[in-house]
Amino acid sequence: MAKNKISFKLKNKLSELDTLCQKLEGFGESIGLSPKFVFETNLALDELFTNIISYGYSDKKVHHISVTISLQDSQLLFSIEDDGMPFNPTEVDEPDLGCTIEECKIGGLGIHLAKNLMDEVCYQRCKDKNILTLRKHIQDPRPAKKRMKG
């Protein structure tokens, strides 16, 4: 039976994006997620993770960001926990999407993508940690069990 929960830690460096991708693809495959779902999930987590490591730390030390992904009923739940500076991405202003190319600014775009690709993004600050909780409904559930029968 496929394991329906994984937890792992990422260091605060950009090369860990590859680890994030590998972990997600492996988990997605084990529980039968569609490539589109894995892509969208990867992008949302990438943007939030990149944001944390780009702006969350003022020192040069190695920090660990904890990620947990679990399948519950027909949705995936994600938790991202870091010990960086307090930052609530849900309060970031939405970019102006109706702008022309000259006016277009890139700030806030990553968080805009993450919010759009997830059904829910919640933030809490707890014991000197930022905790993001995300939820995404699986539209096309293909449980691994069923696939194995065929």
Partner 1 sequence: MEIIEENHGGINIFKLNGRLDSNTSQGFEKKIFQAIDDGSKSMIVDFKDLDYISSAGLRVILKATKALKREDGKMLLCDMQDYVKEVFEIAGFDSFLPIVGTMDDALQGF
Sign of CA dihedral 112, 113, 119, 120: negative
Q: Which two tokens stand for residue 3?
A: 């394991």
- Cα separations in angstroms, 41 against 20, 57, 125, 134, 136: 11, 24, 23, 10, 8
Interacting residues of 57 by C-beta distance below 8 A, sequence separation 6+: 12, 63, 84, 85
Tell the smallest beta-carbon distance from residue 11 to partner 1 (Å).
Answer: 13
Interface with partner 1 (CB under 8 A), residue from 12, 23, 28, 47: 47
Residue 138 engages partner 1 in binding (rule: CB under 8 A): no
Tell the smallest beta-carbon distance from residue 10 to partner 1 (Å).
Answer: 12
Amino acid at 149: K
Q: Which residue has the tokens 């991202």?
A: 80
Q: Among residues 85 and 96, whose Cβ is nearest to partner 1?
A: 96
Q: Are strands 75-82 and 120-126 parallel, antiparallel or unpaired?
A: unpaired
- Give the interface size with partner 1 as a residue count (CB under 8 A): 30
Interface with partner 1 (CB under 8 A), residue from 24, 42, 80, 130: 42
Q: Among residues 3 and 9, whose Cβ is nearest to partner 1?
A: 9
Task: Give the up-direction half-sphere exposure of residue 111: CA atoms within 13 A in the CB hemisphere.
Answer: 17
Residue 72 engages partner 1 in binding (rule: CB under 8 A): no
Residue 58 engages partner 1 in binding (rule: CB under 8 A): no
Interface with partner 1 (CB under 8 A), residue from 3, 7, 9, 14: 14
Other Cβ atoms within 10 Å of 3 Cβ, number: 11
Binding site for partner 1 (CB under 8 A): 14-15, 17-18, 21, 35-36, 39-40, 42-43, 46-47, 50, 54, 95, 97-102, 104, 106, 109-110, 112-113, 116-117
